[in-house]
Structure 1
């Protein structure tokens, strides 16, 4: 089962002519992380989980 980290990196590594998209609920919190933190599965998944929390 893919998590947010897998989804992010599948999208980030897509060819330029690909129409692959990801939900904004993943894109927004991950894009706000530093490039180094985007390489950390736990930090990516935690950022997405925090974004989905109410409030």
Structure 2
């Protein structure tokens, strides 16, 4: 199974005419990372995991 980093990388590097999509639950937290952090598997996967955690409070 592909992790968030793999899904993001495939989507980010897709051909322009490709209809490949990723869920907003993956796109949103990664798009908020710096360009440099988007290249680090651990940071990408952690950002997505944090985004999926329920809000407490």
Length-normalised TM-score, structure 2: 0.95
Aligned residues: 55
Query: Which has more radius of gyration?
Result: 2
Query: Residue 45 of structure 2 aligns to a residue in which SS?
Result: helix
RMSD of the TM alignment (CA)? 0.4
User: Runs (4+) of structure 1 moved beyond 4 Å?
Assistant: none
Length-normalised TM-score, structure 1: 0.98
Q: Which runs of 5+ in 2 are unaligned?
A: none
